[in-house]
Structure 1
Amino acid sequence: MELSPTTLVLLGLLLAAWTGGAVWLVLGAQARSRQARNARSTVRRLTRMIDSSPAVPLLVRADGKIEGPERLAGWLGLARLPSYLSELQGEDCGLSEQALADLRDAVRRTQKTASPFAMVVTPRGSQRNLAIRGHLADPALSANGGAVLWWFDFSESHAELARLREETDNARRDFAALVGLIEAAPMPMWFRSEDMQLRLVNDAYVAAVGANHAGEVIDGQIELIESVDGLTAGQIAGQAHQKDMAIERIVQATVGTQRRALKVSDLPLGQDGVAGYAIDIEEMEEQARAFRAFREAQRSMLDQLSVGVAQFDSEKRLTFANQPFQRIFANSGNLLLDPPDFGRFLDMARDNGRVPEMRDYPAWKRELLEWFAPAGPHEDAWTLSDGTHLRIVAQPMPDGGLVLVAEDRSEQLALSATRDTLLRTRTATFDSLFESLAVFSPDGRMQLWNRRFPQILGLAEDYLDEHPRIEELLDRIGASLARPGQRAAIGEVVRAATLDRTQRGGRVQLADGRTLEFAGVPLPDGNGLLTLLDVTDSKNAEDALRERTVALEEADAVKTRFLANMSYEFRTPLTSIQGFAELLQGGIAGELTDQAQEYVAAILSSVERLGAQIGTVLDLTQSEAGLLPIAAVEVELMPLVTQVVRDREAAIEAKSITLDLRGDRSAGKIHADARQFGRALGNLLDNAIEATPTAGRILVAIVRHRNGVRIVVSDNGPGMGVMERARALDGYAIGTDGKPLPRRGGLGLPLAKQLIEGHGGKLELQSEPGAGTTVTIALP
């Protein structure tokens, strides 16, 4: 079938139109595809921007359904974002019940009234602070009246805001407290602005200038501080402001109705102005003036003292030295014109010979510098090269200074030495006499006594330490008298010696058969001396000899009187010689030459040796005659022996002797006269020390046996031969030529033997040449 040309044309047109439509559709599809891709890209960008933005949107529809990013679920602590607003609450996450209820009310109100709202919530179990801003949604988002909620996480801003708010509150409170403190301050305080005009004053300032209120002071610019050297208080404050430096000064000002001294301070406060305050120091100034007056009076008084006083300040510099101090240390009168420090003062004193000679002077000087330390007062004794004795007292002061007191005690020490020598001489004289002596004051109280006095009356020595009166003493010894009425005679003798100043005597019989002869002698110092002498033996001997021939009786009486008075006759001139020699040595008759000093020292040494020999001879003579008194009592042996050894410590150390004392308290007690037994043991030890060579050895051993005590004194000296050992324990023997036979050791061993035998003991001597000497004492 053939188509007509018209048909072909139509078909061609139709095909062309179809082809054009197809091309148009293809091109439109491509354009829409590009638009879709662009839209999706835009949506992704917007979604990413929303996810990274500080605010998260949430769409709440009218039915309560919500739409929003999952990021909000993370802020609320939810696993995922729920579908409805009411599901934003969880057990330990999401919003609290109250917060959710407030949010729902606010959303409902916005949906109905289109009014925006804002609120802050904190999710459960979270430290986040979320701000919510809500408004009515655009109809394009929700056509039925939805609401859009914008959530902001402002946790850091909220914390910072809370901190700033707290700081602001604190600053406000501090400012209020500061203002209150300034107002209540007892001292005037003020503030000046940049133009140095008063802008603020406290109540003390108002009262000081006599104004009614602060406004009156500010309006009238009433100044408390007067002009000084042509400068007003404002000008001086301006100088402090320009230099940015505090200015302090002391001025006189009228406070109220009184003229007072004030310490004024101007403190620049940067560009704000200058603050100032004034402290009333009038009382301090008065105290300072009083202190200066007191110090001047004190130093004037110190110049009148006989002791030297110097003051050093905290810098160890001399600030004051009175005239005696300058004389003691031989300083010139211009010492205080150039005050030295403590170290230079010591150097000056050393140059003048007014400090002790020290081997290590720098170390000694450093020790003295420690006196400034607040560790309490220091006291020292300085012996100078010229024989001057100084007592130094260093008192550290609280301010770090030092008060140094120097007292010249040379004369006092000389007098004290003389007095001590006289007292020791008197005591030694009293104790060495055979008579029992006691000194009573005019009121009848016992003052002094010798060792024989309590022994002869059977009194305890500690009782006499109470210094009893004569009446109490007579009551104590009344029972010991054969006739108690005789005690009145003793009291009358004491009364006559002390009050009547007359010498009387008498004799009493004791209940144990002893006879005592007593006498009262007035002394120059107003006291009275009571002497008691045990004349029992002489009386018994006299009674026995009376039955014999008159010649023997007279001879025995002569012998008794000789022995009784030998101590006095020998010791009195010897004591006088010693006393006068000591006075010469002390310079009482003028300064002696060195040779004269040596002679006097030789005299004193000879007197001492002669005194010892006389005492030994007297005791040996009395012992041989049976007249040596031995008052035996119970005595601790070990302490007695130890004391005897210690009394000879100087002699032992002088020869570098090693002394071995063996024994302990187990030695127990013995029945002996402590003085006489100690003397016997001392004589043995003296002979051992004399015989022992330098660096030798001495053994003193005490051994307690069943039948008694044995004391051994052994030395490693040269020893003695047979003949020397035979004569060692005998007294002086006269040879055929009328001269004493030679012997070693003096009379110490014979006297020791007599004393030991007087105690019922036995003394044995063993010695060999080159093997030393051993003396053994056996006591029951």
Structure 2
Amino acid sequence: MLLNHTALVVIALLLAAWTLAALWAIVAARQKLRKADAAQRLARRLSRMVEEAPALPLLVRADGRIEGPSRLAGWLGLDAMPQYLSELDGEDRGFDEVQLSKLGDAVRRAQRTGAPFRLALHPRGGRSLGATGHLADPQIAPGGAAVVWFFDFSESEEELGRLRAEAQQARSDFAGLSGLIEAAPLPMWFRDAGMQLRLVNSAYVKAVGLRTAEDAVAQGVELVEPSDGLTAAQVAKQVHARKQAVTRIVSATIGGQRRSLRVSDLPLGDEGVAGYAVDIEEMEELTRQFRRFRDAQRQMLDTLSAGIAQFDDKRNLVFANQPFLRIFAIPQAWVVDTPPFDRVLDRMRDAGRLPEVRDFPEWRRERQGWFLSSAPREEPWHLSDGTHLRVVGQPMPDGGLLMIFEDRTEQLQLSATRDTLLRTRTATFDNLFESLAVFGPDGKLQLWNRRFANDWALEEDFLATHPRADALLNRIAGKLKRAAQVGVLADVIQAATLERKGKSGRIALGDGRQLEFAGVPLPDGNGLLTVLDITDSQKAEAALRERNAALIEADAVKTRFIANMSYEFRTPLTSIGGFAELLAAGIAGDLTPQAQEYVAAILTSVERLGQQIENVLDLSQSEAGTLPIAQEQVPLFPLLTSVVQERAEKINAAGLSLDLRGSDAIGAVTGDTRRLHRAFGELVDNAIAATPRGGWIQIDCSRRGGKLQVVVSDNGSGMEPTKLARALEGLKISGDGRMVERRTGLGLPLVRQLIEAHGGTLELLSEPGEGTSAVVTLP
């Protein structure tokens, strides 16, 4: 029983151990089942995630076998994933030969070197795939396998293509806009947020005088000068801060010229500020010209006799000239307020300067309609004081009205006196000493006086028919000494009426009378024929001609006599001078002091008389046209210097000062040195003689208009016009109408003859109290 009990205990223990082991096994199995379920669920989730992932893996083993999801096969256009990489080329599906070769090379390189790769692949079917490959983790696939992840970029490729197209369009638009800005004739620029120049166009570069846009940006050269204490960048900064465009007019120097520019700065959000400048110098100049034209026009309108009133499109008076203010007694200050048209008419009515009308409001409304008229309106205004106005209303293109008030009162008065004037004219014509006849353009006789009928012995009844010129000349032809000369009268009448030219002539009548006639074109288109009996004057003229011929012959005899006498005087004068020089030299013995004075006086008188004889001889030869003139180059300034030096003692003795102006640069003249020396010496001598002690003499030598001019001036007393008139004797009158002076003696006439013999002119100017100037001009 004891054994049995022990056996039972052992059995019980074994059963208990077996039970525990069974329980442990059950618990362990349950734990394994739970782990297996969890792993299975994880695998399903991972598989689902892979299926739904945007990237699909492809495992490529070292032997070329591949593993991948069926979804990847769908991306490649395959029904199922093949076993080897080379089987991904499925003729019309999968990769083509080039794409597959590219993928295979990249995979093998990654398997050998472990280098990752990226590829863009395009399988048949139009998809776009991105492939990223690397060496697989040994836990995933040992033995040098590679994992390639594929991304489907088809939709992204379409979006990318669209974005590329938009970018290309944007680039094209930007290039076009940039080209437009670059080709724009006005300067343009862009500033960044820091208000620094970033872009400028060619017009900007040219305006600032640089070579390239890069230079302008790098140097920060501004086109616009500071204005009101603000630089261009500071103004742009204000525009950027306020987010509001600003346009202003400033001045700038472009191409060395000051120009007016309209500058606009435009904010471009946070990017910066753009700007451009428009050259408005021409427009500003046109505006200034318009203002000057308007001012000049209004000044011109003030000089007219007609009243002018200008109303604008709002019917306000904007301008009235002085005749308008005078006619209607309106002060200038009232016009400054630009009163409306109605008020202007009311003021005219109050001043009694409008015509009397029954219904003034209606009359005023009719005048207001002139503003809307398409054609000018004109009407007469008869005022109560007898004034007659011609009123014209001219509508303006801008909607305004220009009113012109012409005072015709005097015209009516002139018209009233016209008949009186005509009668007066007829009476005047009839009492003239000349024969007068007026012919119209058609050749008919219009007017004539009684003397015309008497000179040609024409009947009044015939003239009253206003005959044509040819019929009139047929009547006159029989009274001429030679009837054929009537054609001369016909030519004169035709020239005065049709050709509008004046002609004249003389004609002889059969009774011995001499008539002088002339044709004069008249302003009204007619021609005036004047005929004057010059029979008596012809006789007097013949007598004067005979007397003049006698005087000319007498003058020639006088000239020859003077020339001969000059030669006759020279011989004894030479002897007197020679003997006096011998006495002065002591040939006849020593002379007493008093005798020496007498001899010196004789020599001085001989010299003066010799000069006068030379003057008379040269003057007579010049008047006779036989004065010999040498042709040589004469430096003028040295010649004048020699003349002054010869008279230095004489000038000092007279207490005068002499100023010689000029230089050798003025050149030379062609002529006779001796006679030019005498001519200028005579002018200086005359100036010395006419200038009081303490006075001055000035000689100015210059070249004017290709000619040499010498002016000898002094501050003497001058001469009165009456004395000058008596002393002229052939000298000129100055260009300003003052008489020129001719001083006493033969000096000045001889100077004139010598200067004119050299092709020059002599002009003397003198005024009382202001001295005398002799102006010599030589070619």
* TM-score (structure 2 length as normaliser): 0.41
* TM-score (structure 1 length as normaliser): 0.41
